[in-house]
Each structure stands twice: as C-alpha cells, then as structure tokens.
Structure 1
C-alpha cells in the first residue's frame, strides 16, 4: 500500500486507485480541494443506505441507528483520529463546526481581543467579526509576510501576542485554502498557550492528507471535513473539543437533547444525513486501504512537487507556497507575474489547455491561482500543467 515516497511515484499503482472512481469526461480537474470524490464502493454503499432508510424510515433509525449505529460509527472515527469518542461529534461540515465553536466559546469578556490572519477562511473571519459586534471584543487582524517561512510565521504570532496583551482567542487554519500553506500548528499553539490564548483550529483541508496527532498539537477546539480528503458523501464534518475543555464551550443556543457533559450538546440538534453517516465505515475502510493520510499525503505532495519544481524556474511564474516540506501539502498556488488578472489566466488554462483550476484572492500576498491535484490525477496530467505554465508565463 502507498505509505512512502517510493509508492507515491508508482504510476501503475495510482492508476489502479484512480479506477476506483468515476470521472466525468471533460477538463482535467486540478481543483480537488473543494470536495472529494467517493469511490465506487462508497457510492454503492451510500445508494444502498439511501434506499434502505427511505424504505425503513423511522423504524430503523429510532430502534437501531440512534441507539447503536451512530455510536459505533463515532467510535470508528475516534480511532481513526486518535482521540476519545467523547471528544468528537458530527456536523454538516468544518464551517458549521467552527461557527458553533466560535459563537459558543464562553471565556470572552467585553474588551478582550480575538485574532485572525489574512489566510483564514472568510466565514471564520466573519464569525470572529460577529463576536466584535455582539460580545464587545476587539478583533485583531494580522497579515503574514510573503514569502512565508517557518520562522516568519512564528514571528508574526509572537509579535501579536506581545503587542496585544488582551488576546484571549484566535483562529488558526492548518492548511490555508488560498495558497495551501501548512501552518506550524504545534509551535504556534505552544506560544499561544504561554500567553493565555486559546486556539480554534480550522482543519478543513488537513484531515485525510496530513498526518497529525491532535493531543500533540495541543489544540483544544477544532473543526474538520470528512468530505474532502477522507472521501465521504457531502454534508459530513467533525467538531473536536478536548474533554477537559468542554465546559468552555456552551451548549449551542441552550441545546437540551444531550447532557451538559456530552459534546453533542455543543452543536445544533437536527435530523442529519443518516445514509451518509451509515456509509462512513466503508469510507474509513477505503481510506485505510489507501494508506490513510500517510499514503494519500505522500502521493499528493509528489504530484505537487512535479509541477512546482519546473515552475520555480519559469519566467513569468511565481509559486507562492514555500518548498519547506513542513509548510505544504496538496494545495499550492501560483501567480502569472506578467498578467494583472489571475481569473482571466485561470480561464485561459481551462479554455486553451483543458485544465480546471480556481482563482483565489484575499491574502496579503495578492491574487493567485490554486492548483490542487487529487487521487485521480496522473503524472501525465501534471505534464499538461507544466506545458501550459511554460507557454502562458512567457
């Protein structure tokens, strides 16, 4: 199974992996960061579960799923994540998890400060701005130096912690959705803890492609997606709260379906996508068969490095994501330096080279084009990208 760099280069193996997925004819998809594909096996299980729940309706759900099924699935996910099942609960997606954590964090007083950087997801920024309006806190906004390095990223936060002594809470994205920069989470959390600052981690792009251990990272609060690199049906995310910190997050809007000691009270209670949840054991089995985050991550980093190693030397192309292996994963962004409109260049990649990418803006380093290979991406697809960049960058 693909667990190291040698296996990551094995095109024959990854062709067999690609055959587990249906791919619609059309452009080469280099925007796999939006959401992931399900394998044939997962799709078939999902359809069976939709059919079954539609037939059995509440009889099965009330008698089995609500009592036993969901508990077993939750325990399976906890094992995969290396945490207690009492520390996690399901949500619609990472955004829903992060919004619930932010709005229900109860340790803020008027006049306290909260922090985010230019690289956070827009919904996370707006949630922290909401705290300013409704909780009377001050929002501190910082920008990271470009080009970024491990040292400059740590320096940005160290400076903020010293300059703003009333900081109590900050958002931190593990893998930034704009440039793909992987933040040095453990080191930042250690500094934050020394200054009495809690961290809410946005792990939307991390779970499934990066190897990490939440207790080692020191993170107490986090939100994740199962629908990106884990490969679940859409509509599934995870909320994580370290058990010893559960009291610092209030039940969501007075939620009473679960006891105060149960993390499930910290998210809205509603009827979930039951067939999708029932499909998760198959999803987790497939994820493990592909080598888990180690196997997937090695392959994605290999594909990333194929095009980045060429693009670094190209005139008219700037690669925005560092080559420090601690600071990148699948996603890496670039800019056509001789062109002002990056959206137009993304359109040219599509129309002239059959390559689907996405333009991004909002970070201090400026507009860019995000390139994200996936598990169905081949080295040949990357060769097409290299050819396009060489011709359009000149």
Structure 2
C-alpha cells in the first residue's frame, strides 16, 4: 500500500505533532483541519509580531514583498502561475466572486447546478437568475452514482438545454464525499461551449490534480481543510488567458484590471495567517503531500465502509469506485431518524459525526477521518454502526 497508508506507527508519530483536546473521537474533520503544533506556534508568533509592529512592518515589508513571495509558493503548490491566483478568506468567497463577476452571460442564457453543490454556490447561481435574467437549471443526480451515470447526466443536460453557458461543479461533494469525474465532465462541457466554475474546497490537499489538465479555468479553494493552514484562508484561481471573462469585483480599483487580485474584494487580510503559509506548505510536502494524505484517508475510509456496506439496515451512499471517493463518506440507517442516530453515535459511543441534508436521497450521516484518526478509532465506528443497526 503506498505512502505508509496502513502503517499505524507511522501515522501515530505524525499525530504526536498535534495537540488534541480531550473529548469525543472526531470523525467530522471535513469542517476544517487542525494546525500542527509547529504551525500553530508560527501563527501565534506572527500574531504577536504583527500586533507589536502594526502597519510599520505591513506597509514596509509585507505589502512590498513578503505577500508576493507567499503567493508564489501558493502557485507552486497548485502547479500554476502566480498571476492565476489570489488569496480570499475561503472557497465560498472565491466562488461567489467568480459567479457574480462572470461577464459572458446574456439575458435568456441558462446556468446549471445540481443537488450536490454547496448551498452557498446554489444561492449565488440563483442570484444570477434575479439580477442577470438567466434561467437556473437544477439537476438531481441518480443514486447510487457511477462514473458513467454522473457523466451521462451532464451530457444529457448539455443536449437538453442548448442555452447553457455556465455551470457549477463540486470536485468533492461536501455531503457524501463523492468525487466528481471533473476532467470527463469538463471535456463534455467544452464541446457544448459551457464554462465550469469548480468548487475545490475539499479537493486540495487530499487529491492530486492539475487544473490545466482537468480543463478548468475558474475555481475556488480552501487552505484550512486538508492543507493545515489557519482559518480564514482560501484562494481564487483564474486561468490567465480567461481573466477578461471575470470582471473586477464591484469595480475594484486597487489593482489594475489585468491583475487577478482585482477579482476579490480589497480588504485587510489575516496577515499573520498568510505569513504562516510557508511553514504550512513545507509541512504539507514533508508529510508526502496530497498523495500521502489521500492514501491514508482512503485507507481509513475503506476500513469502515468494507465492514458495514453489507449490513441490511445500513446504506453507504458513496461509491466504492476508487475514482469517486476520498476521505469523506456518508451513510444512513435505513428507515431511521439520521439526526437521532448521529446523536446516539455521540452519546453511546463517543463518536462525533455530522448530518448533511439537501441531496435528493435525503438526510445522511457524514463520516470524515483526519490525520489524527487511528484504525482503532475506525474500529469503534464499525462496532457502533453494527450494534445500532440491530438495536
């Protein structure tokens, strides 16, 4: 198995670099990730330093060069050009900016979302209907999903709705962890003249990808999920040759129209968090990057899914096709109140999970291991699901 994915001792050593608050076993690591003890120390030191130096350092050093160097490091992480990325507070901010400033829509055009998109993205696309006089097409994906069924759903939509110009696509769906076949969908979309805005919030850090190879020109990402950065850090990606298709945000003038940074609101960012990113990126690479993290998360995911999928009262909602899953996987107790069952996981077995709603298949329980999750933790989950299924 690659990257020591099943080597508990290896990952136990890594876990020792993190502080963990006593409490339930956390299987809800999809909300945001932890900073390591070393990253946290750097962040706290930067907070203290900026608090002492205030604008003297920020105006003279950070704005004049440090932020440029950090942006270059971000671009290297993404295998992109520095002029393709700009920092935001989170993926949602980046995606909202891309949606509201996309300038190729005309009244009567159509835009596309599915039931698996993030609610903020759905809301932003529906906003276009009110303010750009476009029609929103909303799809519900067939369940259970397969690579071909997902792709065919979009192929059918491109044929059925010839006025489609723009679509949202979530790389890793936050409800179930389903990994969309982005490259295949992007190829089909391109054949029909449909642009994609990609939600990569959960992909960066656990999936290896190249945006140019995927055929993606517009995307938003988080740095506080699987990369291990402080909260309040994300970024926008716009392929340089497509920059003119996204207007400066609400007439933003602090940067020229030829600068991707004009596509985000100008404000005072979390400077200490940005200053911590070189340490974050170095640590991410030292751990083996997305290849190692993804392999470990997939191992832990498969460890519990393989033992509960066959239970008659349990439905695992995420495919076992290795192209279509990652750390996050959702399930439901058939015919039960999922919120109540999640509460029983917590109260009876000390397992913290979360429920997700909004998909066509209804409410589900989302399970997301993290870097500090052990195989022993997963065994507790398997025991809990098995016993609750019969109880």
TM-score, structure 1 length as denominator?
0.98
2:20 and 2:34 map into 1 onto residues whose CA distance is 9
CA apart distance, 1:313:
1.6
How do 1:144-155 and structure 2 match up within 5 A?
Answer: 144-155=141-152
Counterpart of 1:94? 91
Asked if the contact 1:200–1:222 (Cα under 8 Å) also holds between the matched residues in 2, the reply is yes
1:14-37 Cα offsets, whole Å, 9 max, x none, are 001111111100000000000000
Q: CA deviation at 1:84?
A: 0.2
Deviation at 1:80, TM superposition (A): 1.0
Aligned equivalents of 1:71, 1:16: Cα separation in 2: 34
Question: SS at the partner of 2:373?
Answer: coil
2:43 maps to 46
1-side partners of 2:61 and 2:45: how far apart? 17
User: Which residue in the other structure is 1:392 paired with?
Assistant: 388
Mapped contact 2:246–2:263 kept (Cα < 8 A): yes
1:75 equivalenced with 2:72 (yes/no)? yes
The Cα of 1:338 is off from its aligned counterpart by 3.4
Q: Structure 1: which 5+ residue stretches go unaligned? A: none
1:351 to 324, 329, 347: 347
Of 365, 368, 371, which residue of structure 2 is paired with 1:372? 368
Give the secondary structure class of the aligned counterpart of 1:181.
Answer: coil
- SS state at 1:370 partner: strand
1:16 aligns with 2:19: no
Name the CA distance, whole Å, in 2 between partners of 1:55 and 1:162.
60
1:300 to 285, 297, 300: 297
SS at match of 2:198: strand
Query: What is the number of residues matched between the two proteins?
Result: 390
Preserved CA contact (<8 Å) 1:333 1:368: yes
Alignment of 1:236-255 (within 5 A): 236-255=233-252
The match for 1:383 is 379
Contact 1:114–1:168 (CA under 8 A) maintained in structure 2: yes
Kindly provide the CA deviation profile for residues 318-356 of structure 1, in whole angstroms up to 9, marking residues without a partner as x: 1000000000000000000131x1011000000000000
Q: Distance in 2 between matches of 1:19 and 1:315?
A: 38
Instruction: Give how far 1:189 is off.
Output: 0.4
For structure 2, the 5+ residue unaligned runs are none
Q: Retained in 2: the 8 A contact 1:113–1:139?
A: yes
Q: Secondary structure at the match of 1:153?
A: helix
Secondary structure, counterpart of 1:327 in structure 2:
coil
How many angstroms does 1:55 deviate by? 0.4
Cα separation, 1, equivalents of 2:346 and 2:153: 37
Q: Deviations over 1:188-216 (max 9, x none)?
A: 00000000000000000000000001100
After TM superposition, where is structure 1 displaced by more than 2 Å over at least 4 residues in a row?
A: none
131, 135, 139: which one aligns with 1:138? 135
2:327–2:369 contact (8 Å) kept in structure 1: yes
Q: Does 1:235 align with 2:225?
A: no
The Cα shift of 1:365 comes to 1.6
CA offsets per residue over residues 78-136 of structure 1, 9 Å max, x none?
11110000000000000000000000000001000000000000000000000000000
Aligned mates of 2:200, 2:255 — CA distance in 1: 25
Counterpart-to-counterpart distance in 2, 1:251 and 1:107: 14
Are the counterparts in 2 of residues 227 and 234 from structure 1 also a CA contact under 8 Å? yes
Contact 1:5/1:302 (8 A) holds in 2: no
The structural deviation recorded for 1:367 is: 1.0
1: distance between equivalents of 2:312 and 2:12? 33
Corresponding residue SS for 1:224: strand
- Mapped to 2, the partners of 1:390 and 1:155 lie a distance apart of 35
Superposed counterparts of 1:104-253, under 5 Å: 104-253=101-250
2:66 matched to 1:60? no
Tell whether the 8 Å contact from 2:233 to 2:273 is kept in structure 1 after alignment: yes
State the Cα distance separating 1:6 from its structure 2 match.
Answer: 5.7
